[in-house]
Chains A and B, each alone.
Chain A
Amino acid sequence: MLLLSVCITSCNTDSVTVDPNGGYEPTPLTIEVPQIFEERVPAPLIPADNPMTVEGVALGKKLFFDPALSLNGTQACADCHRPENAFTDPRQFSVGIDGSLGSRNSMPLQNLAFNFKERFFWDGRALGLEEQIFEPVTNPIEMDNTWPNVENTLQETAGYPLLFERAFGSSTIDSVNVTKAIAQFIRTLVSGNAKIDRFLLGQEELTTAEENGLAIFLDESRGDCFHCHGLPSNPLWTDNAFHNNGLDEIITDRGLGGFTGDPREFGLFKSGTLRNIEFTGPYMHDGRFNTIDEVINHYSEGLKFSETIDPLMKKVAEGGVQLSEEDKADLKAFLLTFSDLEFINNPAFRN
């Protein structure tokens, strides 16, 4: 057989087309990019070795909602990344299959195809979305499984081998293709139709309070939110970068520095996107704030100094920028314009 193959290969000139997917070509899929992104941010990042396909996304969605990925078959990705919460967890800490609590709040999953810095997790330790997906499956306080076990389980589950063959040209299931499929699905989770988007596109007006909130957001002497959380020219509403935002005097969770080992990065965590902030509480890497009001109060009068605090955190000695109650209310009103109900309720993102 091998000899025959070699012979065929040797005799091949340019008349035979070899289909790398064994006779099945998945259907290319293009991510639907909202108008506001089309105009203002680069095209989504799609790894060359994991192109988007209809079959890949469908498989990824099925896997995302399938508890078979966990050791005891009780927990799916979606249990801690809930669609109605912009794919985060409304609990401060997610609960693993054995009841273990995590130490960080689950991150929302939206617009990750537009994370051009390509660092994932609160501490940036995953250098790509596919890499990020590898971890929860084996984390002992999350799904607590092993990848060989996942591969075996899926291989023996009716339907999966065929779906993998259609998506990746092989019915033999491996961890790489599992993460690729889930990554493809996650890259379709794009939120870009909130009131703020329609306002920026000239399709809807802001109220007076919301407009004042925007002014505070963009004002260096008051909110100065835009230096980390984006502005109308960066409608991702995050910089996807890492900051010490003055949460603690003594740093116990080293964040980015725990990954890099650089003491200058102790206590730095990724800026969360403000998109759908109405649905993504509790807030901060450890979910310490239950409400948007608490978050605003933190930046207004709750800042604490530590060695690595970001210079963008102003007036730390006074606790913050001391917003008036009216400014706080207007800022909150503005933040609520980031709610994208089309995204939250999108049936394509539900099980």
Chain B
Amino acid sequence: MKMNKFALILAIGFAFVACDSDDETPTPIVNTSVDFTFTQNWDGANIANSDYETTTYTNENGEELTLSKLVYLISDITFTNVAGDVFDAGDYNLIDARTGTNTSFTPNIEIPEGDYTVSFTYGFDDEDNIDLAYPDLNVADNGWGVPVPLGGGYHYMRLEGKYINAMNDETAFQFHNIRANRHSSLPPGPTTLVELRDTSIEVNLGTISVTTGTSIEVKMNVAEWFKNPNQWDLNVLFSVLMPNFDAQLLMNENGQNVFSRGAVTVNP
């Protein structure tokens, strides 16, 4: 992972001390951690545990579907202050929306109170998407790794469920998002991989005033994966999407508007 920025904080702290004059009382720098909560909705309707496998949603293409799994990875939550200083713990968080596991997350960094542009990476960017690098992820969920013939590294998301197809049959879908990988021929094998493309997404949550106890909600609108700009036809793209280069690019495009900032609160 990227080098953390504790050193930068330390340097800023020293700078303040160095500039201190004898006849002024310096304003103490208050450092704080920032909490995040990750929520999921379908076009605004909250998705709770009880909705999995029970609530029917209709996607933009008109297919009725239910969800059974939604697990996704975020990394590199970054705080950039007005001076351009970057604070980034360089850590990651795997969220299991159905079970509620890791829907609360506090990056391992404390930053001075103030205004920041807050951003994160959905998935791992190529710098961090290193095969075998994270033992905890290797055994997380159903094993979060991606097979080497598909480029290795780690999944970004597993969204699974069932939908009613054009023949009116209930059919499973596996909307698995990974780094796009193109092959000379399919099925993929040890020698078929010809191109990898980083399809992680940089998500900007805008400017947020951070004080002690700040908590930021990050919302995922699941419907957006099937909507904009590409109207997703599950009858065509419902399975074996991992080695499908074009499908991964479409997911990347649709993923641009999936995340948004929710409530920003300050806990006492």
A227 — nearest CB in chain B belongs to which residue?
A: B142
| Shortest distance from the beta carbon of B180 to any chain A beta carbon, whole Å | 15
Q: Which residues of A contact B141 (CB under 8 A)?
A: 239, 241
- The answer to whether the Cβ of B179 comes within 8 Å of any Cβ in the partner chain is no
Q: B141-194: which residues lie under 8 A (CB-CB) from chain A?
A: 141-143, 145, 147-150, 152, 160-162, 169-174, 186-190
| Shortest distance from the beta carbon of A201 to any chain B beta carbon, whole Å | 12
Q: What is the CA–CA distance of A170 and B152 in the complex, to the nearest angstrom? A: 51
Q: Are A232 and B148 in contact (CB under 8 A)?
A: yes
Q: What is the CA–CA distance of A226 and B141 in the complex, to the nearest angstrom? A: 12
- The answer to whether the Cβ of A41 comes within 8 Å of any Cβ in the partner chain is yes
Known contacts A226-B143, A264-B52, A311-B162, A221 near B186 by CB under 8 Å = yes
- The answer to whether the Cβ of B136 comes within 8 Å of any Cβ in the partner chain is yes
Most B CB within 10 A of own CB, among A220, A240, A305, A314: A220
- Bitwise, A309-323 to B at CB < 8 A (1) or not (0) is 111111011000000
B154 — nearest CB in chain A belongs to which residue?
A: A233
Q: Which residues of A contact B171 (CB under 8 A)?
A: 317
Q: A220-260: which residues lie under 8 A (CB-CB) from chain B?
A: 220-222, 226-228, 230-234, 236, 239-241
| Stretch in contact with the other chain, from B104-112, B236-244, B256-264 | B236-244
- The answer to whether the Cβ of A39 comes within 8 Å of any Cβ in the partner chain is yes
Most B CB within 10 A of own CB, among A41, A215, A305, A308: A215
A313 — nearest CB in chain B belongs to which residue?
A: B172
Known contacts A41-B138, A221-B240, A264-B54, A312 near B172 by CB under 8 Å = yes
Q: Are B239 and A220 in contact (CB under 8 A)?
A: yes
Q: What is the CA–CA distance of A242 and B145 in the complex, to the nearest angstrom? A: 18
Q: Are B242 and A231 in contact (CB under 8 A)?
A: no
Q: Which residues of B contact A264 (CB under 8 A)?
A: 52-54
Q: Are A222 and B162 in contact (CB under 8 A)?
A: no
Known contacts A220-B243, A311-B68, A314-B239, A40 near B172 by CB under 8 Å = no
Q: Are A42 and B136 in contact (CB under 8 A)?
A: yes
- The answer to whether the Cβ of B69 comes within 8 Å of any Cβ in the partner chain is yes
Q: Which residues of B contact A204 (CB under 8 A)?
A: none
Q: What is the CA–CA distance of A317 and B162 in the complex, to the nearest angstrom? A: 13
Q: Are B172 and A231 in contact (CB under 8 A)?
A: no
- The answer to whether the Cβ of B132 comes within 8 Å of any Cβ in the partner chain is yes
A217 — nearest CB in chain B belongs to which residue?
A: B147
Q: How many residues of chain B are within 8 Å of chain A by beta carbon?
A: 39
Interface of B is mostly: loop
- The answer to whether the Cβ of B84 comes within 8 Å of any Cβ in the partner chain is no
Q: Are A215 and B187 in contact (CB under 8 A)?
A: yes
| Shortest distance from the beta carbon of A164 to any chain B beta carbon, whole Å | 34
Known contacts A215-B189, A264-B54, A226 near B147 by CB under 8 Å = yes
Q: Are B138 and A233 in contact (CB under 8 A)?
A: yes
Q: What is the CA–CA distance of A218 and B186 in the complex, to the nearest angstrom? A: 13
Q: Are A40 and B138 in contact (CB under 8 A)?
A: yes
Q: B189-243: which residues lie under 8 A (CB-CB) from chain A?
A: 189-190, 239-243
Q: What is the CA–CA distance of A241 and B68 in the complex, to the nearest angstrom? A: 14
What size tier do the contact residues of chain A reach?
Answer: 35 or more
Q: Which residues of A contact B174 (CB under 8 A)?
A: 220, 311-312, 314
Q: From B142, B148, B162, B188, give the contact of A219 (CB < 8 A).
A: B188
Q: A89-125: which residues lie under 8 A (CB-CB) from chain B?
A: 114, 116
Q: Which residues of B contact A222 (CB under 8 A)?
A: 187
| Shortest distance from the beta carbon of A123 to any chain B beta carbon, whole Å | 17
Q: Are A239 and B160 in contact (CB under 8 A)?
A: no
Q: Which residues of A contact B190 (CB under 8 A)?
A: 211, 215
B155 — nearest CB in chain A belongs to which residue?
A: A227
Most A CB within 10 A of own CB, among B138, B149, B186, B188: B138
Q: What is the CA–CA distance of A233 and B136 in the complex, to the nearest angstrom? A: 11
Q: From A40, A114, A116, give the contact of B132 (CB < 8 A).
A: A40
B175 — nearest CB in chain A belongs to which residue?
A: A311
A230 — nearest CB in chain B belongs to which residue?
A: B143
Q: Which residues of B contact A218 (CB under 8 A)?
A: 147-150, 188
| Shortest distance from the beta carbon of B52 to any chain A beta carbon, whole Å | 7
| Shortest distance from the beta carbon of A320 to any chain B beta carbon, whole Å | 12
| Shortest distance from the beta carbon of B69 to any chain A beta carbon, whole Å | 7
Q: What is the CA–CA distance of A232 and B131 in the complex, to the nearest angstrom? A: 10
| Shortest distance from the beta carbon of A321 to any chain B beta carbon, whole Å | 10
Q: What is the CA–CA distance of A219 and B242 in the complex, to the nearest angstrom? A: 9
Q: Which residues of B contact A215 (CB under 8 A)?
A: 149, 187-190
- The answer to whether the Cβ of B135 comes within 8 Å of any Cβ in the partner chain is yes
Q: Are B139 and A234 in contact (CB under 8 A)?
A: yes
A241 — nearest CB in chain B belongs to which residue?
A: B142
Known contacts A314-B172, A314-B239, A234 near B161 by CB under 8 Å = no
Q: Which residues of B contact A221 (CB under 8 A)?
A: 186-187, 240, 243
Q: From A211, A234, A305, give the contact of B145 (CB < 8 A).
A: A234
Q: Are B161 and A116 in contact (CB under 8 A)?
A: no
Q: Which residues of A contact B53 (CB under 8 A)?
A: 264, 308
Q: Which residues of A contact B145 (CB under 8 A)?
A: 231-234
Q: A218-B147, A309-B172, A313-B172 are in contact. List 20 more A-B contacts (CB 8 A).
A: A211-B190, A215-B149, A215-B188, A215-B189, A219-B187, A220-B242, A222-B187, A226-B147, A228-B142, A233-B131, A233-B132, A233-B152, A239-B139, A240-B139, A264-B54, A310-B68, A311-B174, A314-B172, A317-B169, A317-B171
Give the 3 A-B CB pairs with smallest separation, nearest first.
A233-B145, A311-B172, A234-B143
A sample of 5 inter-chain contacts (CB < 8 A) reads A215-B149, A215-B187, A218-B150, A233-B143, A313-B172
Please list the residues of chain B having a beta carbon within 8 angstroms of any beta carbon in chain A: 52-54, 68-69, 131-132, 135-136, 138-139, 141-143, 145, 147-150, 152, 160-162, 169-174, 186-190, 239-243
